[in-house]
Amino acid sequence: MSKRSTTTRSEELLDQALALIPGGVNSPVRAFHAVGGTPPFMVRGDGPWVWDADGRRYLDLVGSWGPLILGHRHPAVLAALRDQLERGWTFGAPTEGEVRLAATIRERMPSVEMLRLVSSGTEATMSAVRLARAATGRSKILKFAGGYHGHADPLLVEAGSGVATLGIPGTPGITPGAAGDTIVVRYNAPPEAEAAFERWPEAIAAVIVEPVAGNMGVVPPAPGFLAGLRDLTRREGTLLIFDEVITGFRVARGGAQARYGVTPDLTCLGKVIGGGLPVGAYGGRRDLMELVAPAGPVYQAGTLSGNPLTVAAGQATLDQLDDGVYQRLETAGQRAADLISGAASEAGVPMIVNRVGSLITPFFTGSPVTDYDSAKASDTARFGRWFHRMLEQGVSLPPSQFEALFVSTAHTPDVIDEFAVALAGSFSGP
Ligand code: HOZ
């Protein structure tokens, strides 16, 4: 087999990785399959910046896909991690830190009366679905096309994120039984959800929804969509699960449920609550959570759940997030979105920029993006060309049209000025 010629350290590392790790990456969205080229292998981060193995510096708008709401190596998070490291990093036993973090989450998100910490968003959604099935005695789950809730079998059907990016059509490895229990309807289309309940009466255990879709690109809920789901699920005896893995403590101090004033039965969390270390959580109504083992019979467990380092980083992160921070994130997000729209319109490129707080997706289309079909109408080849021009200018964006840009508190006005410079001329050309 002939070896690819290599010129950069990232290319060398990718060559080695391809022989050892599927696709050379440990999560598909990191590969550059949708945009072409070699992903820079990162070695260091600081504030809004990351550096690759070839010493190039990038303005980071990936933010580790959401957790780094304070940017890289925030001093408070670093201090909390150092402090915990000195005392040990896993005990397989309860710790005071877990209790504090749970109390902080409940105080900011009152619908989460009790919660269980796990190690990833996938674990959180998977466990919430199991709990919903146990609590209702029903089998089916209703989700929305382009919604991504991690990679548990029943939730991968018509999923967004990497599944959308790679255009994976079916669900190889998933049994017809698992897929058959998942009903998929259009996001922001209440009549479709209502029709599903008519077709499968008393069969749907839960509706699971990203209250702001973030994995088909950012798609805000239409006015009344979430409240409509709340009414519908209540009427039908079905649980409403908000997947706030991306939006939790990102779009408001109390998450999307506070921003839109709709209270779910169960909430899934991740990303921000771990401050950049592996984490997930599911929680909600006390009567439901008391069904979880060992309080109740619904089994779920994890060796590193509530890991002390994760809990320390998560607590230190949440401790920074006051109202002023959300105001700053809103302002920075608005300015970044305006700059992208302005540069695109100057170049005559049709573009819709969707934004909720510090979550942004520029869609290469002239028509509103309200669901998965309208997201897929984007010119993904043009997105790829723009992505590479920005990378050349030293800006690291998510390598897919169907993801969100994440602005952090480290994206100060000066840093956004640098983004503006990089944007200039980035939409010119084909
Ligand atoms: N799915 C998330 C991004 N939309 C997390 C990143 C990943 O899948 O690796």
- Whether the model clears a pTM of 0.85, i.e. scores above it, the answer is yes
Whether the upstream peptide bond of residue 399 has omega within 30° of 0, thus cis, is no
* In contact, 419 and 395? CB cutoff 8 Å: yes
* CA 304 – CA 181 distance, rounded (Å): 30
What is the model's pLDDT at position 169? 61
**Rg of the chain (C-alpha set):** 21
**What are the boundaries of each domain within the chain?**
9-73+322-423, 75-320
Q: Active site includes 319?
A: no
Residues of the chain with pLDDT under 50: 1-2
Quickly name the fold that domain 9-73+322-423 has: Aspartate Aminotransferase, domain 1 (3.90.1150)
Nearest partner of 269 among 49, 151, 278, 88, judged by Cα: 278
Ligand 1 binding pocket includes 26 (Cβ within 6 Å): no
Which atom of ligand 1 sits closest to the CA of residue 27?
9
What is the distance in A from the centroid of ligand 1 to the CA of 144? 17
The yes or no reply on domain 75-320 and CATH 2.60.120.10 is no
198 CA to centre of ligand 1 in angstroms = 33
Residue 145 Cα to ligand 1 midpoint, Å, equals 16
Probe target for ligand 1 pocket from 27, 149, 244, 269, with the most ligand atoms within 8 Å of CB:
27
Active site residue 260: no
Tell me the per-residue pLDDT of 60-84, one tens digit each, with 9 for 90 and over.
Answer: 999 999 999 999 999 999 999 999 9
Atom of ligand 1 nearest to the CA of 148: 1
Q: Which one-letter amino acid corresponds to residue 377?
A: A
pLDDT at 163: 80
pLDDT reported for residue 351: 97
Q: Which residues pair with 356 in a beta bridge?
A: 359
pLDDT of amino acid 430: 73
What is the structure's pLDDT at 425? Answer: 87
